[in-house]
Amino acid sequence: MTERMTDAEGLLWRLEKDPFLSSTFSNISILDRPLNVAAFMRRMHRATIAIPRLRQRVQPAPANLGAPFWQPDPHFSLAQHVRHIALPGDGTMRQLLDLATLYTADPFDRARPPWQFLIVDNLTGGRSALISKIHHTITDGEGGVLLSMQFIDLERDAPEPPDLPEPDLEAVHPDDEATDVLRAALGDAMRIPLSFVKQVRDALGDPTSLPSTGAATAANVRAVVRQLSDTDPARSPLWTKRSLGRRLEALSVSYHTMREASKVLGGKLNSAFVTAAADAAGEYHRRLGSPVESLRTSMAVSTRADESVSNAFTLVRLVVPTGEMPIEERFAAINEMATSVRSGSGEASLDTLAGIAQALPISVLTRLARAQSQTVDFATSNVRGAGIPLYIGGARLLANHPIGPLGGVAFNLTLLGNDGNLDMGLHIDTAAVADPGLLRTCIEDSFAKIARFAPNPGAPAPTGQTHVRDEETPRGPTTVRKPRWLRRRRTLTPQ
């Protein structure tokens, strides 16, 4: 049985023709001891039944008419997707990060479902790690957190959930399936009205020709035109080169401290996160003798309204102040921008843009996407997580560092809440950012500036951590309330 990708998923898949535009994202879970591999494999087997997408591969639409399709992989093998290795001796955090960087950069085998997990033993201190790697067509960051509910426990020795019945894959005659796929693809090709595509084309050539035959249509055309016609180059005088060279850094700050500081400053935690990234980017430029007054960042905004694992996000671009100024002034400016974005900034949705993209040849589409990526200096993404102790295969989760896709920008800073801390992955293009260590230091310093606004910033947070956390230090117990998405445990059932 085949299932058509959404327009947004189809766009992400087609853009992979250009390796600079890869949308693969990963996550590094640091565990306090080696996990029980056999138990974890049983849990992952169950997950592939509960979430059918994990057993599906991508089938291109005939003649690229419309979005590709998901279809069951007749040769699916869990062993091809979950692998187990060990670092030499007492592996360091640096070795793990370098491994995760290379692992994330390797493209998926397109003949198989686009996801992989890697269990890594021999991390210093008797610890281990789990690197999860997922293509964005399967899910987004928050969907990945929901997916992880299939193998995460709330106690070390939790009982395993009951088995699920194996899926009953109906036999489909190849000719019948090909006919169904072609019929659906032709339907997709006709779904975007040619008149809408023509209005976008005409408006790009002459903005005064925006349609006047309906407010909704005009608004959609304006939003698409505004994004496709934005060719203002990225503003950094330093981050001008792009490459496939990558480096990953991991850091953490106290959730309690950042939340309280954000309240004092009159905004939300996400504003503190973007403020720290902007402040650090500005300081990096100043320390290298190239001050810059503003940079453009892209920010992922969740549009999720349910607990499915499908993609539900859009991207917005903000010009953030990076000149020298008090951190509270920068916070106020960025908080106002972020509030405007979340209340509706007039950006075209990812689905709208993806629908238009269906009418474009891949060569044209990748050129447009590359041109758009060159208007952005860096990317940020904030993924909600859990504020309580979690366990995987009997091992406690100490840290959870997400690795967001670069997509043609200088760096991506992605945040994921975990056990009273905010864990971050700093994914860097090494041709753009010549001194990754300096950028990491600047980010740490910027979070410390914001932390000083928290009441009693020197006092221990509920997790026993404050400010930037040393990754070699285990976390203490926490009393943070269980998040809403974790209160409904394993509600995903076979589709």
Side-chain-facing half-sphere of 43: CA atoms under 13 Å: 23
Q: Give me the helix-helix angle, 255-265 and 269-287, nearest 10°.
A: 90
User: How would DSSP label each residue in 11-22?
Assistant: HHHHGGGSGGG-
Answer yes or no: is pLDDT of 324 > 70. Answer: yes
From residue 26, how far is each of 69, 140, 245, 427 by CA, in Å?
23, 11, 17, 11
Return the percentage of the chain with pLDDT > 90, whole number.
Answer: 51
Sign of CA dihedral 44, 50, 53, 57: positive
Position 486 scores a pLDDT of 41
Contact 487, 398 (CB under 8 A): no
Q: Largest Cα–Cα distance of the chain, in whole Å?
A: 70
Position 464 scores a pLDDT of 35
Position 63 scores a pLDDT of 63
Answer yes or no: is pLDDT of 36 > 90. Answer: yes
Contact 411, 429 (CB under 8 A): yes
Answer yes or no: is pLDDT of 119 > 90. Answer: yes
Instruction: Read off the tokens for 298.
Output: 């892209």
- From CA 251, how far away is CA 242, in angstroms rounded? 24
- List the chain domain ranges: 3-153, 246-381+411-487
| pLDDT confidence band for 95 (50 / 70 / 90) | very high
Sign of CA dihedral 192, 198, 204, 207: negative
| pLDDT confidence band for 111 (50 / 70 / 90) | very high
* 204 vs 307, more confident: 307
Instruction: Read off the tokens for 195.
Output: 């008149």
CATH class for the region spanning 246-381+411-487: alpha beta
Instruction: Read off the tokens for 384.
Output: 């909600």
Task: Look up residue 481 and give its DSSP letter.
Answer: P
Other CB atoms within 10 Å distance of the CB of residue 469 = 19
Q: What does the pLDDT look like over 432-479, one tens digit per residue?
A: 999 999 999 999 999 999 999 999 755 544 443 333 343 333 344 333
* 388 vs 205, more confident: 388
- Residues 6 or more apart whose CB falls under 8 angstroms from that of 304 comprise 142, 143, 312, 313
Position 64 scores a pLDDT of 63
> Is the model's pTM score more than 0.75?
yes
- From CA 435, how far away is CA 285, in angstroms rounded? 11
**Mean pLDDT, rounded, of the chain:** 79
| Least confident interval from 168-177, 386-395, 406-415, 417-426 | 168-177
| pLDDT confidence band for 149 (50 / 70 / 90) | confident
Task: Look up residue 293 and give its DSSP letter.
Answer: S
Position 136 scores a pLDDT of 85
Position 5 scores a pLDDT of 83
- From CA 432, how far away is CA 412, in angstroms rounded? 12
- From CA 297, how far away is CA 378, in angstroms rounded? 5
Position 145 scores a pLDDT of 73
- Residues 6 or more apart whose CB falls under 8 angstroms from that of 462 comprise 256, 420, 478, 479, 480
| pLDDT confidence band for 20 (50 / 70 / 90) | confident
Answer yes or no: is pLDDT of 414 > 70. Answer: yes
Other CB atoms within 10 Å distance of the CB of residue 212 = 8
| Least confident interval from 25-34, 62-71, 234-243, 360-369 | 360-369
Intrachain domains 3-153 and 246-381+411-487 with the same fold: yes
Assign residue 2 a region: left if phi > 0, alpha if psi is -120 to 50, beta otherwise? beta
- From CA 464, how far away is CA 468, in angstroms rounded? 12
Closest by Cα among 126, 148, 123 to 138: 148
Side-chain-facing half-sphere of 81: CA atoms under 13 Å: 26
Task: Look up residue 453 and give its DSSP letter.
Answer: T
User: How would DSSP label each residue in 234-267?
Assistant: P--SS-----S-EEEEEEEEEHHHHHHHHHHHTS
Side-chain-facing half-sphere of 337: CA atoms under 13 Å: 23
Contact 25, 108 (CB under 8 A): no
* 263 vs 300, more confident: 263
Fold of the domain built from segment(s) 3-153: Chloramphenicol Acetyltransferase (3.30.559)
